[in-house]
Structure 1
Amino acid sequence: MIFSVCRGWVALRGADGMLVAAARRGVVLSCVTLAARKGLWVLDDSRPHLAAPPRSGHASAARGVIHWNTPTFPRDPDSCEDSLENALVILARCQPYESALATWESAFRQRLVDPAELERAPLPPIARRLVEEARPFADSGTETIFLTRLAWLDLAITPQVWILGHRVDFLIGERLIVQVDGGHHVGAQRSSDIAHDALLTLHGYHVIRIGYDQLMNQWLWVQRTILAAIGQRLHRAA
């Protein structure tokens, strides 16, 4: 069954509610909202982020974060979703740098955007920095954030290293391993992690295991712990 959404728009019963609401308000889904809908890593998408043309007063009634902007790439007038390229440019100015970098790297890793196209576009300075620094082979958003926060440290930090039959999240120097646990580290996965930690210890490695909440919300403790280990030269081979 079809119903009228607004002038020029109709929808089927059961249509995506966010798209219907966007059509009614004359906005498009963009920024972190669109990134999350495309399966990219985002830090927070609790409120809808929308984009609208400058001086589009009727969009002010929309609920959520509204980005009034002139798009870098022309918007399809028949779509209620922004292009992912436009969403990334908006996100670059909306989100903290490390979070934006994680989302951009997620888009590059999944090959959902072409970095070369973005490089040729007239990007604002913060987006230009992101397209230059984003790595297409980053494994996850937590990896990006961890590496960004320790970029000042004058030590080799290597992500996703295979050691003794398993992949570890980070190897600092030669012997210090940092593992970041997510919600899936339970049951059989947890038992496997504990067994591998023991094997690493028996072979002379030192393991620091932290949780997602500690990485995101208790960073000072995480950094102090890592620096204490480095101060004791636990990152060095004997």
Structure 2
Amino acid sequence: MSIEDEVRHGGGVVRVRRLRERGWSERSVRTAVDLQRLQRPRKGWVAVPDADPHLVAAARAGVVVSCVTQAERLGLWVLDRGRRPHVAAPPRSGTVRAARAHVHWAEPIVPRHPDAVVDEIENVLALVAQCLSFEEALIVWEPALDKKLVRLEELRRLPFRGSARRLLECASPYSGSGLETIFVSRLGWLGVPIVPQAWIAGHRVDFLIGARLVIQIDGGTHVGAQRTSDIAHHAELMLLGYHVIRVGYSQLVDRWHEVQALIMRAVAQGLHREK
């Protein structure tokens, strides 16, 4: 294994001390830097040339990538993806300089290794709970549980406080996307059963409300062959006695009041009930 492979295996950005512990000499590190096979973000650190810019910047500033930025890196749902990078630092590390980043100065729930440039998932969720609205945070928490990045029973044994405790009480480990979280949490007050990803007539539907009301969310993939298949399934659902409401992704995220009004009227007419 080359020294570059060693660094890449360690995430792309590592402390030189770690390389020395793995048997690489200071001379081999200097040679790799001189040949531009490695770069030095900061004294005591090296990175491969194509390392994640967030990790390089974290090593340079002496922080860890955390909160919504690390949530995005983990493939979790974040509604507003235009935010500046979020990083975390110990509350007494006054020398940290993270330009153009939002720095969270907080004690971590799980101790951070001094060589880390990304935060532990438990710390990420704790900061998300503080940083975002309850719904936006829930949209991050539930997919993290669904992906088994952490388990609910483990989170309950940690000293979370404030909004994080409320999230622990409400979060479900079975919601695989932010859309499901938005939809179910915003309609919970109706008191009607809502089943995400229900299997009907050989296909999954996005949501089944009660026994007969189907909600389908049309996104960018509902074109061509996919659109044709959706139309055929829609017709089959109607023949089986289901009522189908189709809404667009942008309606759900940006114009929720329109979606809610449609569903309220459908429920008021009893379209969700078994005939």
Q: Normalized against structure 2, the TM-score is what?
A: 0.82
The alignment covers a number of residue pairs equal to 238
Query: Highest relative contact order (Cα 8 Å, sep 6+), 1 or 2?
Result: 1
Q: CA deviation at 1:150?
A: 0.5
Contact 2:76 2:144 in 1 (8 A): yes
Q: Distance in 2 between matches of 1:65 and 1:185?
A: 37
Q: CA deviation at 1:109?
A: 1.1
Larger Rg: 2
Instruction: Compare 160-169 and 132-141 and name the one that shifted more.
Output: 132-141
What SS does the corresponding residue of 2:230 show, helix, strand or coil? helix
- Between the aligned partners of 1:185 and 1:67, the Cα distance in structure 2 is 40
Distance of 2:197 and 2:86 partners within structure 1: 33
Q: Which runs of 5+ in 2 are unaligned?
A: 1-36
Asked whether the equivalents of residues 147 and 176 of structure 2 are also in contact (C-alpha less than 8 Å), the reply is: no
List gaps (5 residues or longer) in structure 1: none
- In the TM superposition, residue 6 of structure 1 has moved relative to its aligned partner by 1.5
Tell me, in whole angstroms, the C-alpha distance in 2 between the residues paired with 1:178 and 1:42.
23
1:11 aligns with 2:47: yes
Question: Which one of the candidate residues 240, 246, 254 is aligned to 1:203?
Answer: 240
**Which has the higher mean CA deviation after the structures are superposed, 44-53 or 88-97?**
44-53
1:90 aligns with 2:127: yes
TM-score scaled by structure 1? 0.94
C-alpha RMSD over aligned residues: 1.5
| Partner of residue 30, structure 1 | 66
Pairs within 5 Å for 1:66-145: 66-145=103-182
Displacement of 1:44 after TM fit? 2.5
Of 43-52 and 79-88, more deviation after overlay is shown by: 43-52
Aligned-pair CA distance for 1:60: 4.5
1:233 partnered with 2:270: yes
Aligned structure 1 segments of 4 or more residues deviating by more than 4 angstroms: none
Contact kept? 1:157, 1:173, Cα under 8 Å: yes
The amino acid of 1:175's aligned partner reads R
Aligned with residue 157 of structure 1, among 191, 194, 218: 194
Q: Which amino acid aligns with 2:260?
A: Q
